[in-house]
């Protein structure tokens, strides 16, 4: 169904809102709120009804509801002063009062039919991406279902990443079988990023190639090739989809972060500030972590119910204390407030639950922490950072084999991730707990190769060298550790690291003692 009002068009089938054919970036909850008000514009919609419909009856604060109503007004060109479209009815609720015309959604053009010339669509505020149908290079029309399936699955998986604007399948598949330049696709669909690829089958071997393009700069942000045995076609399809989506997400954030850094400071909105914050957080240094927190504080000042910003803020606070850059006792309550606010603001956002899970770990609430991480990964199975921090928690809970598997899954999902140094560090710590000291040292060195000042890798390297009995390496590692975390003592390690099993804590401390720490 399409709703036309003023100069806006809201399409419920495509879940798109546009103004004068220009896409308007709308968060999923806000979009649902606008649709519900518009569908029930003949009456007043109570607050309780909105909470039941949009939040499915969950407990929602007055400030969260007010924030979403304000965002809805902004999306449709209204404001709280005029209330020309969304009116507040005192003590009763809200009503959409604008003039609305309705029509059935336009049918998608037939495959292969040329897209008619149209005015280029302006880019929305959020990352807009189109996934083109993957090209079947096999010369076998029966393989079309597989190449189409890969494309459709990628569209579906990217659509679950709530902060991206993903063009619907019916729009991107218009280009199937056509020789069209990606600049034309970007112009006609109003996107900045385009994913394209190909599938080639030879016997029981399958090769899938994919690449992510930033059309505005003409650059290839990411490209990869996957070779697989075609034992189970659906399992291969799921595996490749997972790998592609997990690789694309951090690349999009990195590109958006770079773009935000080119903007004048006065023009930054909450999204831009979060993207800038991510670019600092990824560097995993004390100074950059503090810079990330400052930017996230600004983002949440602009939008107090911004779940992603609040969740990342909680994660940043706890990570800083975990690295020894802040007092843990003072930091945990601050992080917990941000994490709880994040979840209250948006219970479907993986970043929000990630922040709460990480905070619970340092509350020594291991079961709650693991449950929150598992919910995080249910919301976004391709969230590499969450897999790694889930691995840390599993290790601290005494399940080092599971922790190692989680860290390696993060690396497998996103091998070029800006946080890959952390993922290697987690795997190094898991191997230390398993008393595989040489493997631990190797992984710690790889982590430090990627991020020389990553404190976690220096710690594991020192403890592993101590337990291995390599006096020269242990002395060198301890010197490097004191350089990256000055003043570190056995007392601090005993007090701050949340290990559930006493034997794991004693094992770790013994490694530092043998390395010469006092």
Cα separation, 123 vs 25, in Å, equals 9
Which of 250, 283, 302 delimits the end of a domain? Answer: 250
CA distances from 288 to 59, 250, 279, 284, 293 (A): 35, 18, 9, 7, 9
Tell me whether residue 206 is in a domain.
Answer: yes
For the chain, what is the domain count?
3
Tell me whether residue 257 is in a domain.
Answer: no
Pairing status of strand 2-5 against strand 8-11: antiparallel
Which of 70, 103, 136 delimits the end of a domain? Answer: 103
In this structure, are 445 and 483 located in the same domain? yes
Most confident of 73-82, 131-140, 442-451: 442-451
Q: What is the pLDDT of residues 393-420, one digit of tens each?
A: 999 999 999 999 999 999 988 877 889 9
Q: What is the pLDDT of residues 481-515, one digit of tens each?
A: 999 999 999 999 999 999 999 999 999 999 999 99
Cα separation, 130 vs 168, in Å, equals 8
Kindly write down the DSSP assignment for every residue of 459-514, as one continuous string. Answer: HHHHHHHHHHT-HHHHHHHHHHHHHHSTT--HHHHHHHS--SSHHHHHHHHHHHHH
Tell me whether residue 9 is in a domain.
Answer: yes
Can you give the CATH number for the domain in which 231 is found? 3.40.50.10610
In this structure, are 135 and 225 located in the same domain? yes
Whether the predicted pLDDT of 56 surpasses 80: no
For residue 124, the 8-state DSSP code is: P
Separation of first and last alpha carbons in the chain = 70
Q: Alpha helix (H) ranges present in 303-436?
A: 307-322, 328-345, 350-362, 366-379, 384-396, 400-413, 420-433
Burial of 106 from C-beta contacts in 10 A (0-12 / 13-18 / 19+): exposed
Q: What percent of the chain has pLDDT over 90?
A: 43
Range 286-293 average pLDDT = 95
Question: What integer pLDDT is reported at residue 48 of this predicted model?
Answer: 87
Rounded to the nearest 10°, the torsion over CA 236, 237, 239, 240 is: 110
Cα separation, 158 vs 127, in Å, equals 11
Can you give the CATH number for the domain in which 435 is found? 1.25.40.10
Range 472-479 average pLDDT = 96
411 touches 428 (CB < 8 A): no
Q: How many residues does the chain have?
A: 518
Residue 213 bridge partners (DSSP): 194, 220
CA-wise closest residue to 474 among 447, 510, 502 = 510
Can you give the CATH number for the domain in which 88 is found? 1.10.10.10
Question: What integer pLDDT is reported at residue 22 of this predicted model?
Answer: 62
Tell me whether residue 368 is in a domain.
Answer: no
In this structure, are 152 and 71 located in the same domain? no
Which of 211, 230, 250 delimits the end of a domain? Answer: 250
Q: What percent of the chain has pLDDT over 70?
A: 92
Tell me which residue range forms the domain holding 143. 128-250
Whether the predicted pLDDT of 323 surpasses 90: yes
177 touches 111 (CB < 8 A): yes
Question: What integer pLDDT is reported at residue 106 of this predicted model?
Answer: 47
CA distances from 409 to 9, 90, 335, 432, 436 (A): 42, 52, 27, 18, 19
In this structure, are 507 and 403 located in the same domain? yes
Residue 206 bridge partners (DSSP): 201, 228
Tell me whether residue 116 is in a domain.
Answer: no
Whether the predicted pLDDT of 119 surpasses 60: no
Minimum mean pLDDT among 36-40, 44-48, 106-110, 120-124: which range?
106-110
């Amino acid at each position: 169904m399409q709703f036309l009002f003023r100069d806006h068009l809201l399409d419920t089938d495509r879940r798109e809102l546009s103004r004068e054919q220009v896409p308007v970036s709308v968060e999923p909850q806000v979009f649902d709120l606008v649709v519900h008000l518009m569908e029930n514009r003949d009456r007043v919609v109570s607050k309780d009804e909105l909470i039941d419909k949009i939040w499915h009856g969950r407990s929602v604060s007055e400030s969260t509801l007010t924030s979403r109503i304000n965002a809805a007004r902004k999306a449709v060109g209204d404001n709280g002063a005029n209330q020309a479209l969304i009116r507040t009815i005192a003590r009763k609720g809200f009503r959409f009062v604008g003039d609305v015309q309705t029509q059935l959604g336009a049918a998608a053009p037939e495959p292969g039919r040329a897209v008619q010339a149209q005015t280029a669509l302006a880019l929305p505020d959020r990352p807009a991406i189109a996934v083109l149908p993957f090209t079947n290079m096999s010369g076998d029309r029966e393989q079309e279902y597989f190449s189409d399936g890969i494309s459709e699955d990628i569209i579906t998986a990217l659509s679950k990443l709530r902060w991206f604007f993903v063009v619907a399948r019916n729009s991107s598949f218009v280009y199937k079988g056509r020789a069209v330049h990606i600049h034309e696709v970007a112009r006609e669909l109003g996107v900045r990023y385009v994913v394209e690829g190909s599938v080639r089958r030879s016997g029981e071997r399958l090769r899938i190639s994919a690449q992510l393009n930033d059309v505005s700069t003409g650059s290839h942000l990411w490209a990869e090739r996957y070779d697989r045995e075609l034992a189970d076609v659906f399992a291969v399809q799921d595996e490749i989809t997972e790998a592609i989506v997990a690789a694309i997400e951090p690349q999009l954030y990195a590109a958006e972060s770079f773009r935000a850094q080119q903007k004048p400071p006065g023009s930054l909105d909450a999204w831009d500030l979060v993207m800038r914050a991510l670019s600092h957080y990824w560097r995993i240094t004390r100074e950059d972590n503090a810079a990330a927190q400052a930017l996230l504080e600004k983002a949440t000042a602009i939008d107090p119910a911004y779940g992603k910003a609040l969740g990342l803020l909680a994660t940043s606070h706890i990570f800083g204390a975990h690295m020894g850059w802040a007092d843990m006792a003072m930091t945990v309550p601050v992080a917990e407030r941000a994490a709880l606010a994040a979840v209250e603001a948006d219970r479907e956002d993986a970043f929000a639950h990630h922040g709460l899970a990480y905070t619970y770990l340092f509350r020594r609430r291991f079961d709650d922490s693991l449950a929150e991480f598992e919910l995080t990964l249910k919301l976004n199975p391709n969230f590499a950072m969450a897999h790694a921090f889930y691995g840390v928690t599993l290790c601290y809970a005494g399940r080092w084999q599971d922790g190692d598997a989680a860290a390696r899954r993060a690396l497998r999902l996103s091998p070029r991730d800006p946080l890959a140094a952390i993922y290697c560090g987690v795997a190094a710590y898991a191997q230390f707990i398993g008393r595989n000291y040489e493997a631990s040292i190797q992984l710690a060195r790889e982590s430090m190769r990627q991020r020389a000042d990553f404190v976690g890798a220096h710690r594991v390297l020192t403890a592993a060298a101590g337990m291995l009995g390599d006096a020269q390496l242990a002395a060198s590692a301890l010197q490097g550790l004191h350089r990256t975390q000055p003043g570190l003592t056995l007392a601090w390690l005993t007090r701050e690291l949340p290990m559930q099993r006493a034997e794991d804590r004693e094992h770790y401390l013994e490694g530092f003692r043998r390395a010469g720490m006092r």
